[in-house]
Amino acid sequence: MSDFKEFPCPNCSSELNYDAEKNDLKCLHCHTVFSIEKSDELIAEITIDSFNSAISSHMLPINDVNYKCSKCGQETKLKEDIAFFECRNCGNNVINASAYKSRTIVPSSIIPFAVSKDKAMEHFIAWIGKGFWNDSSLKELSIADNLVGHYIPFWTFDANTENQWSGQSGTYYYVTESYRDSQGKSQTRSVRRTRWQYKEGQFSQFFNDILICGNQEITQDYINKIYPFHLDELKPLNEKYLLGWNAKAFDKDMNDSYTLSKNFITSKVEEMAATYLAADTYSGLEVSTEFCDETYKHIILPVWFCEYLFKDKKYFFIINGQTGAIHGEKPLSTTKIVTAIVLAVIFVIVLFMAFS
């Protein structure tokens, strides 16, 4: 059963949005700012058992739901996992408070947007303008129209690990070798050899807040590029933070998310074991890892997305909505490439004339 909530401005009944610059609610019409009640509730780490049992239960199918606007009567049809939407007729802001309940695990906390759209544009212009190759006409593109703030669901995983490792540790040494050169004369040279020795050991390592994206449209490698998020700023989830922003429940397979975090831990453990094993080099490294005290949190983080066209080609970038870190592909400017090639050719000719 859907649970729609509206938060009209107490002054003028217009729409309230969560404002990234004020960190509070702001009326779009009369511009009055209203504070969001702060909670000092602790954000708990939850033992992994409930996550594992949620994996084994099926993800429920996502149904359509209907909302009848309380202001204009227009019906809006939407997917039940959409947490915020606007009436398509009058723009009335509506929170779908049951959206996250369409999944077996509901997020506990959120980092609200701290980078406003204006600030996100500033980050984009600073980034795109940095390179020699970027066309200044980019600034005229309608980036602002395509720049959209999304609250993205994430998982954080913690684990203690007990690790046993073994392998061959290699130490370099040098011997002097005689050989005959092309004229048949006797010469000597220093040659590197490796002395191998079997080694083994164990260590414990705690991993805190391995952050895995729960949105299947964005790969983990891509989102990693705008890390870190400062998770000490997580606040208990209050749906008012969602007002005016896109927000949707997680849609990536939970097992895949968990596997990504385990793979991350395993590769870090292997890197550490390799540094314990290697003197100068190593081979045949074997590591066995036991996971214990595993916990998780389900959280929501702010990300700006933008897809735009430049000379008939699609480009995409993302911005961390907490820190402003940006990642994406930059278009190349053909004018600047041609100019650079011409300049390089002139440079070579000048060099050639100077030395001939």
Provide the binding-site residues for Zn ion, judged by CB under 5 A: 9, 11-12, 14, 27, 29-30, 69, 71-72, 74, 87, 89-90, 92
Secondary structure class of 340 (helix, strand, coil):
helix
Spatial separation of the C-alpha atoms in residues 152 and 212, rounded to whole Å: 11
Instruction: Please state the closest distance from residue 25 (CB atom) to Zn ion, in A.
Output: 10
Measure Cα distances from 161 to 3, 264, 277, 284, 287 in Å.
Answer: 42, 13, 18, 21, 12
Which one, 67 or 207, has the nearer CB to Zn ion? 67
Smallest gap from residue 319 Cβ to Zn ion (A)? 29
Beta carbon nearer to Zn ion, 88 or 199: 88
Looking at the Cβ atoms of 4 and 196, the one nearer to Zn ion is: 4
Residue 98: how many other CB atoms lie within 10 Å: 18
Q: How far is the CB of 96 from Zn ion (least distance, A)?
A: 15
Q: By C-beta, is 74 or 216 nearer to Zn ion?
A: 74
Closer residue to Zn ion (CB): 33 or 72: 72
> Least CB distance from residue 112 to Zn ion, whole Å?
20
With beta carbons less than 8 A apart as the criterion, state whether 93 and 244 touch: yes
Burial of 150 (0-12, 13-18, 19+ CB in 10 A): buried
Strand positions, DSSP E, the chain:
4-5, 16-19, 24-27, 33-34, 46-47, 64-68, 75-79, 84-86, 93-96, 109-110, 147-180, 186-213, 235-236, 246-247, 281-310, 313-320, 326-328
Kindly tell me which of 85 and 113 has the beta carbon lying closer to Zn ion. 85
Nearest distance from C-beta of residue 4 to Zn ion, angstroms: 12
> From CA 19, how far away is CA 39, in angstroms rounded?
18
